[in-house]
Structure 1
Amino acid sequence: MTGAGQRPPSSPVCSLAEVEGHDMQQELEVARWRRAERERLRADRMAMAVAARQDWAAALMRHLSAGLSGWLGDPKGRVISGYWPIKGEADLRPWLTELHAAGAIIALPVVVTKASPLVFRHWYPGMVMERGDWNIPVPPASAKVLHPDLSLAPLVGWDRANYRLGYGGGYFDRTLAAASPRPFVVGVGLQSAELATVFPQWHDIPMSVIVTDEGVQSNSLSRSGAPR
């Protein structure tokens, strides 16, 4: 589904759609395509006006609030991980602050070791932060490490199979692969960032649900049941 004035989902290049089986040429073409789509979608997002980005974040927070009880139940005492917004991402910190006030335990992801799973540290509004990877503010090393029940994952692009196109570092997929039990993962992004497919790779892990400014767009609870 696309909104008024939005482009339809991007289609794969013909050569990718026609290739059968796995070979090095296919792998290289997929990698180039995914890199180009990341750059295009990030440029589109960065070009958004401030007011448009604020409207996007507000819509996401409404849809997240509406869906939360169905995904998680009562958030009181449950661990919910968010993110510190960078590179034009939607700022959902007001929603995390509301959840904190409602008794939820909030966590933020931290890169402790390069090319390794993320660690989730306890966060609360007003906490004194440190500078982490990519110069992103993160909770200090003294903060308690938590295991999220529900985790937000910012999307650069997404498809109807619940797959996420991220920044290419693989951190979130490594984290989900190593997590036991795996959290309920909510991918959040722009409706206009929908792709016909992200050409998921062997290491890509689908989201439990995808939410955009137009609401819940993809939901496959059988892949990752809501934590209870």
Structure 2
Amino acid sequence: MGNESNSFKSEGNFASPPCMAAEVDPGYFDPLAVDPEQARDVARWRTAERKRLREARRTLSSSQRTIASAALMTGLERLFEEHLAGPSDVVVAFYWPIKDEPDLRPLMVEMQASGRSIALPLVETRAAPLVFRLWTPETRMERGHWNIPVPPRDAPEVMPDVVLAPLMGWDSEGYRLGYGGGYFDRTLAALSPRPFSIGVGLAAAKLPTIYPQPHDIPMDVILTERGSAVGG
């Protein structure tokens, strides 16, 4: 385990009480769950946690975000040295930062210049696995779903060997709390062979548990600005 001390609030003050689950509209539940009522409770709790974690991240200053992003890129370089020491044709899927997520784009440029293939995910069909298309600094980006910049449809589609997934929250079992669409879990479940998955987020976003459901897939590594907190 790495140092998981909180960068802007203590973990003890960072989790919503379980009773919050009864106060949020149950718009979604896991259809794979054995107990639909329990799944709805978890969905309500996750909705409250996402809102709280999003607000906490939003309050970080620009300099704090820059420092965290730089530390994450350093940590990723170390991980890549360990896990990408083989062929240069390994495809690494990054993400385009939104909603105050750590910005890893300088590392994308650096790795692409060194000969690595860099891809970005995009939604081509709602409620379906993500598609990955090659990216270079010269790629003319388009607006995809939710106005996220994505490579154009004529960019080559690839299968990633490594996938970086942004985290809203995470737990010590490697489970990731995202934005609630289920896209990364759906994608990892569909890809064969399954790529090496790295969840990228802030140490402050650690939760005691995300109450994993049948569709949730743990990351191989959780990386924060304080180092590898899970795996690595």
TM-score, length of structure 1 as denominator length: 0.89
Amino acid at match of 2:202: L
Once the two structures are superposed, the pairs formed by residues 120-199 of structure 1 within 5 Å of their partners are 120-199=132-211
SS in 2 for 1:121: strand
The question of whether the paired residues in 2 share the 8 Å contact of 1:162 and 1:209 is answered with yes
SS in 2 for 1:145: coil
Query: What is the rounded CA distance, in whole Å, between the counterparts of 1:75 and 1:157 in structure 2?
Result: 32
> Contact 1:79/1:104 (CA < 8 Å) preserved in 2?
yes
In structure 2, stretches of 5+ residues that fail to align are 22-32
Q: Distance in 1 between matches of 2:183 and 2:17?
A: 25
Q: Which whole-Å CA distance do the structure 2 matches of 1:15 and 1:93 have between them?
A: 36
Q: Hey, what's the Cα distance between the residues in 2 that align with 1:159 and 1:95? A: 26
Q: Distance in 2 between matches of 1:67 and 1:193?
A: 21
Alpha carbons 1:12, 1:197 under 8 Å: kept: no
Query: Residues 205 and 67 from structure 1, CA distance in 2 versus in 1: closer, same or farther, beyond 3 angstroms?
Result: same
Task: State how far apart, in whole Å, the 2-side matches of 1:152 and 1:108 are.
Answer: 10
Quick one: distance in 2 between partners of 1:45 and 1:175? Answer: 26
Please give the secondary structure, in 1, of the residue aligned with 2:10. coil
Offset, 1:112: 0.2
Cα root mean square deviation, aligned: 2.0
Aligned residues: 216
Which of the residues 109, 113, 117 maps onto 1:101?
113
Give me the whole-angstrom Cα distance separating, in 1, the residues matched to 2:87 and 2:165: 18
Task: For residues 42-96 of structure 1, give each alpha carbon's deviation from its aligned partner in whole angstroms, at most 9, with x where no partner exists.
Answer: 1111111111111110000011111112222246221000011000101101011
Confirm or deny: 8 A CA contact 2:93 2:121 kept in the other structure. yes
Contact 1:75–1:104 (8 Å) recurs in 2: no
Alpha-carbon offset, residue 31 of structure 1: 1.2
| 1:69 and 1:75 in contact (8 A); partners too | no
Partner of 1:30: 42
Specify the alignment match of 1:8 in structure 2: 11
- Letter aligned with residue 27 of structure 1: A
Q: Which amino acid aligns with 2:95?
A: Y
Compared with structure 1, are the counterparts of its residues 56 and 102 closer, same or farther at alpha carbon in structure 2 (3 Å cutoff)?
A: same
Deviation by residue 1:100-144 (Cα, 9 ceiling, x = unmatched): 011100000010001100000000012111110011111011000
Could you list the runs of 5+ residues in structure 1 that have no partner in the other structure? Answer: 221-228
- Indicate the percent of aligned positions where both proteins have the same amino acid: 52
**For residues 34 and 5 of structure 1, do their structure 2 counterparts lie closer, same or farther at Cα, with a shift above 3 Å needed?**
closer
Q: Which residue number in structure 2 is paired with residue 224 of structure 1?
A: none
